Structure 1
Amino acid sequence: MKYNSTRDKNNRISAAQTIIKGIAEDGGLFVPEKIPQTDDAFLSEMLTCSYQERAFKILSLYLTDYTDEEIKECIKKAYTDQKFDDESIAPLIKLSDEQYILELWHGPTSAFKDMALQLLPQLMSTALQKTKQKNDVAILVATSGDTGKAALEGFRNVEKIKIIVFYPQQGVSDIQRRQMITQKGANVDVIAIEGNFDDAQSGLKKIFNDKVFNKELAEKGYELSSANSINWGRLLPQIVYYFSAYCDLVNKKVIRPGDKVDFTVPTGNFGDILAGYYARKMGLPINKLICASNTNNVLTDFFATGTYDKNRKFFKTISPSMDILISSNLERLLYHVTEDDRKIDEWMNKLSANGHYTIDSSYLSQLQEIFIADWVDEKETLATIRILHDTYGYTADPHTAVAWQAAQNYRETADYKKIPMVVLSTASPYKFNDSVLAALGIDIGDADEFTQLDILKKYNKSAIPAGLSSLKTASILHKKICAKENMAVEIRNCLK
């Protein structure tokens, strides 16, 4: 299977090259030339598989230039009981007869990004060997909170790879910041920027597309790549847990094979929910994908009107991983709907130049057949955390709460069919102690983030993740701060 750029169909490369490059030279994102189809027999075989075996069956459809042994070895290294604290990797939790939580945060950094970022370094390292690339790879990451730590942990001390993470200085939780600035590893750098996530992401996109800068780095022995969800190797592993959740529902006798299921996803950069779209296109019986946003509701407006407009006020919220106004992966979705690289190039140029674009009404109608979009404000988010705790004894982080409430809103509409709803839970509540405790009405006074961990444990059935409790004694190793205009300068300094 080959992959082509969303902005130039003729720009075609292999899966290994796609994972190394991350983003196309023309600024587009790589997509599979065709989406593999599954059938009843394929799904039936998955029912008795472990998560690792399910991952192999999905990945092998897309990574056709990798051998079976190479894919299995990558999976074996990624999903181990030393890294994940639940043997099922992505456990499905029942809250009521028709409502389930898919917990995606049992990896080493307590966020759903581990599901892909434990595997991506293995895939990239294997790709470097396969392509016999001489230059080292410099991974550049913009993070709104969780991707940064997950990428740092995944790529730590991986040979021939250097990783540099940029995060908004005031745009992450205390725990998220602490996770990044204490990161060990001979090949890692962490830099705060004076700006928000979109500033970091836009800055890196400009750097990726700067041919002069890339040539300069190549002469120093580095090729740039990304661990954000613009990299296909980040997105591909996320398809697996949609299939896995569906298989678990069948095995629990909640549904029969072929029955449809809804999924609700807390959404920022649109990668997590796009993986659900790929699963649906592959034949998984998904009815609706509910796109849940916080107050930064640019996606909600887009799915309602067909106009994507980033020219709006940016809100700093208690669900910071969703504080995004430029959802990069939407470009991939639009490409698959239009199959028109020229149109995608035109729209993305309009977004860059004017901050907005409008898609044709026929395309919007196709999207509205699949996607339901909603948003939840701060007050509702806090109230939902309290309701989940008091009604179901379940402690959720703010991102999960946004998704849960969006799911409830959809279930109250005339369009809702009485079928199981799976809500994706993307982070441990322990990463957002202050917000969760405030929602539960617990007075924390001037308690620091580590004291808050212990307080929250009294109201949460799950144990404090080892990776979070150990932060208390971890040394701060990264103190760099830069203006958003100086990101290239910092990259030069890191790669000397």
Structure 2
Amino acid sequence: MKYYSTRDAAVRMDAAEAIKMGLSRDGGLLTPCGIPQIDRAFLESLVNVRYQERAAKVMGLYLTDYTYEELSGFAENAYGPEKFDCDAVAPVRTVDETTHCLELWHGPTSAFKDMALQMLPQLLSAALRKTGESKTVCILVATSGDTGKAAMEGFADVPQTKILVFYPKDGVSKVQETQMVTQDGANVGVCAVEGNFDDAQAGVKRIFSDEAIRATLADRGYFLSSANSINWGRILPQVVYYISAYCDLVRDGKLSMGDKVNFCVPTGNFGDILAAYYAKRMGLPVGKLICASNCNDVLTDFLRTGVYDKNRPFHTTMSPSMDILVSSNLERLLFDLSGENDAEVKGYMDALAKTGKYEVSDAIKAALADQFWGGFCGEAGTSAAIAKYYKENGYLIDTHTAVAASVMEQYRKATGDKTVTVFVSTASPYKFCDHVLRAIGETPAGDGVELLDQLHETTGTAIPRRLAALKGKARRFDLTCEKPGMDSVVLEFLK
């Protein structure tokens, strides 16, 4: 299968080249030239197998220049017991007869990004071999909280790679920051950016498109790639867990094969819910895709009106991984819904760059209304959802998961839809101890990692072992830069 750019469909390359490149040089996102279709027999073949086998079979449909044996080995390495604390890898927890929660935080950094970022380094290392690449790849990452740590955990000390992470200063939780600035590995670097996630993401995209920087780095023996969800190697492993969740529900008698299921996904950059969309496009029996935002509600407005307008206040919230106003992966959805019309998509993206706003066609508006429903949840609603699930269900959830739970209820009240629904849990509550403690009626006794024990003692839930190991760990990185200084940080890191 070939891959092309959302802004120039004449650009064509194999999967290995697309994963190695990360972002198309024209600024577009690399996307498969076709969506492989799955049928009932394919799904039935996955019902009673391990997550690792599901991953290899689903990914093999897209990565035709990788062998099944390669992908199977990668899946065993990525999702084995030394990395994940749960044999199911991405277990589905039942809340009630029509409500289930897909837990994606059982990996090494206790966030859903592990589902892709334990796989991506292996896909990329193989891509370097397959393309005969002699240069060292530098993974450049902008993070709103979880991607940075998960990427560093995946790429730490991987041969022929370096990784540099930018995160918004004061825009991530204390635990998230501690995870990043204490990261081990001789090939990793971390820098805080004065600004928000959108500033960091824009800086990374600018550096990718800067021909002078690329030429300088090439002379030094480096080239840039991405571990953000702009890289197809990030999106594809995420498609797997939606298909896996469906198979688990069928296996456990919660669904009959062929019955539809709704997914409610908390999202900021639109990558996680885009993966659910691709699963639906492949033939997974999905009803509505419910897009859950926090009070940075640009996606909610877009799905309801067809107008994307980032010209609004930016809010720093208790669900920081969703504090985003420029949702990069929306570009892939627009490309698909436009019938792969690269000129139309380029027009939208040019308008966004120039005015911060664009309006999609009536055809795309109709498709959005048919397949998606958007809602948002403010800070009070997030706390209320945490309290509700803990008190009524004995189920402790984090701030991002709470946004999804709240928006799911909004959708049900607005539509009366009784379809079985899975809301997605993207992080352990232990990554946001202070907010979770307050939500369940406790007063945090401190800040950061010292709250892990308080949340454990209050709730009796287990502290993820790698988060527990953060206590007392030495800080390695203290670098901070202004937005225009990101270029210099990259050049210094790769001197």
Pairwise TM-score range, normalised by the shorter structure: over 0.9
Q: Output the CA distance in 2 between the equivalents of 1:189 and 1:367.
A: 39
CA contact (8 A) 1:230 1:328 kept: yes
> Which digits, 9 at most, give the CA deviation of each residue in 1:293-325, with x for residues without a partner?
000000000011111011110000000000000
Q: 1:478: Cα distance to partner? A: 0.6
CA contact (8 A) 1:394 1:460 kept: no
Q: Output the CA distance in 1 between the equivalents of 2:40 and 2:198.
A: 41
- Any gaps of 5 or more consecutive residues in structure 2? none
Q: 1:216: Cα distance to partner? A: 1.2
Aligned to 1:398: 399
Aligned to 2:480: 481
Q: Output the CA distance in 2 between the equivalents of 1:38 and 1:183.
A: 40
1:328-347 → structure 2 map (5 Å cutoff):
328-338=328-338, 339-347=340-348
Q: Secondary structure at the match of 1:458?
A: helix
Q: Output the CA distance in 2 between the equivalents of 1:16 and 1:110.
A: 28
Residues 365 and 461 of structure 1, relative CA distance in 2, 3 Å threshold = farther
Q: 1:48: Cα distance to partner? A: 1.2
Q: 1:449: Cα distance to partner? A: 2.4
Q: Output the CA distance in 1 between the equivalents of 2:401 and 2:53.
A: 27
CA contact (8 A) 2:168 2:197 kept: yes
CA contact (8 A) 2:16 2:130 kept: yes
Aligned to 1:253: 253
> Which digits, 9 at most, give the CA deviation of each residue in 1:92-134, with x for residues without a partner?
1011111111100000000000000000000000111111101
Aligned to 1:377: 378
> Which digits, 9 at most, give the CA deviation of each residue in 1:434-464, with x for residues without a partner?
000011110224x232331111113435310
Q: Tell me the C-alpha RMSD between the 2 structures.
A: 0.8
Q: 1:495 aligned to 2:494?
A: yes
1:311-460 → structure 2 map (5 Å cutoff):
311-338=311-338, 339-414=340-415, 416-445=416-445, 447-460=446-459
Q: 1:417: Cα distance to partner? A: 2.9
1:11-160 → structure 2 map (5 Å cutoff):
11-160=11-160
Q: Secondary structure at the match of 2:56?
A: helix
Q: Secondary structure at the match of 2:23?
A: coil
Residues 461 and 4 of structure 1, relative CA distance in 2, 3 Å threshold = farther
Q: Secondary structure at the match of 2:471?
A: helix
1:162-241 → structure 2 map (5 Å cutoff):
162-241=162-241
CA contact (8 A) 2:434 2:447 kept: no
CA contact (8 A) 1:395 1:459 kept: no
CA contact (8 A) 2:144 2:167 kept: yes
Matched residue count: 494
Q: 1:76: Cα distance to partner? A: 1.5
Amino acid at match of 1:370: Q
Q: Secondary structure at the match of 1:471?
A: coil
Q: Output the CA distance in 2 between the equivalents of 1:265 and 1:22.
A: 24
Q: Output the CA distance in 1 between the equivalents of 2:75 and 2:402.
A: 30
Amino acid at match of 1:456: L
> Which digits, 9 at most, give the CA deviation of each residue in 1:270-295, with x for residues without a partner?
00000000000000000000000000
> Which digits, 9 at most, give the CA deviation of each residue in 1:376-417, with x for residues without a partner?
000111111100101100111000000000001111123x43
- Any gaps of 5 or more consecutive residues in structure 1? none
Q: Output the CA distance in 2 between the equivalents of 1:121 and 1:167.
A: 20
Amino acid at match of 1:336: D
> Which digits, 9 at most, give the CA deviation of each residue in 1:42-85, with x for residues without a partner?
01101111000000110100000011221112112111101100
> Which digits, 9 at most, give the CA deviation of each residue in 1:166-201, with x for residues without a partner?
000110000000000000101000000111000000
Q: Output the CA distance in 2 between the equivalents of 1:386 and 1:470.
A: 27
Amino acid at match of 2:99: Q
> Which digits, 9 at most, give the CA deviation of each residue in 1:222-245, with x for residues without a partner?
111000000000000000000010
Residues 461 and 3 of structure 1, relative CA distance in 2, 3 Å threshold = farther
Q: Output the CA distance in 2 between the equivalents of 1:413 and 1:158.
A: 49
Q: Output the CA distance in 1 between the equivalents of 2:81 and 2:458.
A: 26
Q: Output the CA distance in 2 between the equivalents of 1:190 and 1:449.
A: 19
Q: Output the CA distance in 2 between the equivalents of 1:232 and 1:442.
A: 42
Q: Percent identity?
A: 53
Q: Output the CA distance in 2 between the equivalents of 1:336 and 1:207.
A: 27
Q: Secondary structure at the match of 2:414?
A: coil
Q: Output the CA distance in 1 between the equivalents of 2:459 and 2:13.
A: 47
Q: Secondary structure at the match of 1:287?
A: strand
